[in-house]
Structure 1
């Protein structure tokens, strides 16, 4: 117990040992409740036999009574412990042995104080758990962000903003699932361990399977397996999928994140645009009870019409470069240098044309988009799994939804021609062998599945954390994860 050796902890250990010696169960098996703390404020005065439990987060002591606050992630409840009602023995026992941070179970009846606060008058109580460490007094305003992430459980306990955000995350995932189920989509699961890294332009994490004696990748996206399910007869599917991308650290990227991805047979990307608008409005209403939110100081009404702009138009508008005039990446790279556009050119040198165009867009255009905007007509070399446009085969039938400077949804009319898919994957494989770490690998098993035949398909994907970050106007995507990855101490 050397790492617990401080004065406050020593006192708590003494109390714990005394309670044990007296036969009090300090870590009992269970306590039967009949009301959640968040529901307590709705109880009528005089309601009897109310049983509640929670962590003690406040104690106000008077001569013959105590006001106690108990809390959980969803709410809190004020308790009244009165000496003449509970008896001197139990009153003194509480004062002597209970600390802020401990857990307590109570039974009593409801009333409203003179200040209008719903309160439970304790008739019985039980000790439900001793906290050996005191809760931090100066957690609020703590400047060490890494400490907040490392001890996330304390951040949830002590910071209302964090509580609200993680609760919003749970409600958001629930509302997303309900939305797709109501649209007759079936939820499925696909493998995390994969032989190839396909479905996105990203660098994978690698692992090793001892029994099979083979190297595997943690999936960067569930895409190609979800499409195999379309081959297998499914028509409308979605997955809430943990994905892993071995990318650099930034306020908008996570190495481990939750993606929602889905596919609809016989649809095109315009059908999906309509579905995604409906989904975003549903998520806003069900998560935040509004469709108007404040982003970068602007009040944005998501029910208003959303802008639609092409990739070429957006880059031309913000950089003066017409990407159609530069079919070779080296010429496009030279033009950006000529215009003195600030980029990390050392990073850009090994990129294919598609990844460089995406790099240019992200550095010069994306942050300027605040209102919900559909970005369409991506170059085909940026979209190796998307269907080529019938009128202009150099473009794809694809869109991204960009809000508040970030992409929150990516969607396509999918490529279902196995011969064309093979050609594109061969190009990606060549880029990968030439040093583009984010290019896709050849995936013969997926190509074999495609050769059995695919219907027209539209698909989409979005990150739960990214969506929550944007809709809550958070500074960092790490704030939208229960337990963000931190450096090992």
Structure 2
């Protein structure tokens, strides 16, 4: 244990021996919010605040302190000539990081800084560890930043700003969807059959049933059951879990918003998506132009609708100069090998094309918002075949800053086709693809009762928050990311 911790523990013991509680139950002086004081700074009025000590500056018989609370800072001064007992108590027992409650009269210093002239003081919580850095300075050790995120939030205002953007993204998404007539529903996190995406699940054992269940990898199949049950417009914002990579764009636990609308197709969903994103940027940031780090440089991205729309095959031709429709399977396999892409469960032309697209085009060229549409049908077992070309699926993905932000379909509502597609996925699983979709018998049965034409959407809230916050790592927008 460090000498600093021992010193602070000794202060705690001494306070207790003097019948001074270093952890009182509530403030003696009812605190006002720092925000309300800063917004209406009436000099000469008496105020009270509570918060953490972020800085101490001693000038002979005068002590200046910075108090931070709820992300805001205010200065206070303790003048020995006016408040000797408080001055001496502070010098003897109070350290950086302590929570304090002060009251006093507002004035401005010679430099014009709003300050509380302290005439009442209470120690609210004695911190036993000193802050690792000065307030306003970022922790340099990423392991410490993410493992002890409370320190990151405590010391760095920008970290709080980023997380607040994430939380407001959730809030404003919810408000927007309700305003469009969607009903927020809930679906089970633990499921007997996982589905709705290609991912390896987390498994758990339900002792009461003596069976293996799974943490959900998507919200999709249960939300579609709502559509079948007669709810025409539904959405859910929730955690999903995929036993996959941990990197700048992936965390095994993340937040998604999925929405399903009866009597709509993927064209309607594209309009909903771009309207939602423009709305979020305007409400949260006050602008639709954001700066996002891409390839080591910050680039301006305009989130104003309409977003560009281009088919996957046309995007291959425009950005990579490749006409994938003319490539033979042998040539596609050579490209897979060149880019070190392996397909579990055996070769499939459609899935090969999508994997190549993500590697060759998506990450490098799709910086401004763009809807990539019309995917190979075999890559999308839950999507409806394209109305003009059955080899394609009515699917789009939205890319911004080289990241996939949203995935959407004109939903497959033919139960016979859905059963066939599930059987094909089962064959992939038999051949070793752990991410292939399991056969969901109950969902197929539900479809047999009839589902209207439907458009569906999934948006990665964390990645969208990255765009709005202008950061390059998903760990920045997840308060407590998974660490080894």
Counterparts of residues 7-406 of structure 1 (less than 5 Å): 7-31=3-27, 33-46=30-43, 48-85=45-82, 87-137=83-133, 140=137, 142-295=139-292, 296=294, 297-303=298-304, 305-325=306-326, 332=329, 334-336=330-332, 338=334, 342-346=338-342, 350=346, 352-367=348-363, 368-406=365-403
1:457-482 CA-to-partner distances (Å, cap 9, x unmatched) read 11111111111122333221111110
Q: Distance in 1 between matches of 2:34 and 2:26?
A: 17
1:50-81 CA-to-partner distances (Å, cap 9, x unmatched) read 22211111111122221111113421111122
1:35-64 CA-to-partner distances (Å, cap 9, x unmatched) read 222333112323634222111111111222
Identify the range of structure 1 (385-394 vs 348-357) with the bigger mean alpha-carbon deviation: 348-357
Distance 1:444 1:374, change over 3 A: same
Q: Distance in 2 between matches of 1:421 and 1:340?
A: 28
Displacement of 1:83: 2.4
1:151-185 CA-to-partner distances (Å, cap 9, x unmatched) read 11111122232121111111111111111111121
Gaps of 5+ in 1: none
| Equivalent pair of 1:45/1:112 in contact (CA under 8 Å) | no
Distance 1:23 1:400, change over 3 A: same
Displacement of 1:234: 1.0
| Equivalent pair of 1:110/1:119 in contact (CA under 8 Å) | yes
Displacement of 1:420: 1.2
Distance 1:13 1:267, change over 3 A: same
Identify the range of structure 1 (37-46 vs 307-316) with the bigger mean alpha-carbon deviation: 37-46
Q: Does the residue aligned with 1:484 lie in a helix, a strand or coil?
A: coil
1:411 aligns to 2:408 (yes or no)? yes
Q: Distance in 2 between matches of 1:378 and 1:384?
A: 11
Q: Distance in 2 between matches of 1:420 and 1:340?
A: 29
Q: Distance in 2 between matches of 1:272 and 1:379?
A: 19
Displacement of 1:429: 1.1
Identify the range of structure 1 (395-404 vs 26-35) with the bigger mean alpha-carbon deviation: 26-35
Q: Does the residue aligned with 1:378 lie in a helix, a strand or coil?
A: strand
Q: Distance in 1 between matches of 2:224 and 2:424?
A: 21
What is the TM-score normalised by the length of structure 2? 0.93
Q: Does the residue aligned with 2:67 lie in a helix, a strand or coil?
A: strand
| Equivalent pair of 1:73/1:163 in contact (CA under 8 Å) | no
1:381-411 CA-to-partner distances (Å, cap 9, x unmatched) read 1111111111111112221110000011111
What is the count of residue pairs matched by the alignment?
477
1:64-106 CA-to-partner distances (Å, cap 9, x unmatched) read 2211111134211111222233x31122101111100000112
1:422 aligns to 2:427 (yes or no)? no
| Equivalent pair of 1:312/1:324 in contact (CA under 8 Å) | yes
Q: Does the residue aligned with 1:397 lie in a helix, a strand or coil?
A: strand
Identify the range of structure 1 (185-194 vs 49-58) with the bigger mean alpha-carbon deviation: 49-58
| Equivalent pair of 2:371/2:397 in contact (CA under 8 Å) | yes
Gaps of 5+ in 2: none
Displacement of 1:249: 2.2
Identify the range of structure 1 (409-418 vs 107-116) with the bigger mean alpha-carbon deviation: 107-116
| Equivalent pair of 2:133/2:139 in contact (CA under 8 Å) | no
What is the TM-score normalised by the length of structure 1? 0.92
Q: Distance in 1 between matches of 2:459 and 2:445?
A: 27
Counterpart residue number, 1:449: 446
Q: Distance in 2 between matches of 1:41 and 1:69?
A: 14
Q: Distance in 2 between matches of 1:373 and 1:11?
A: 58
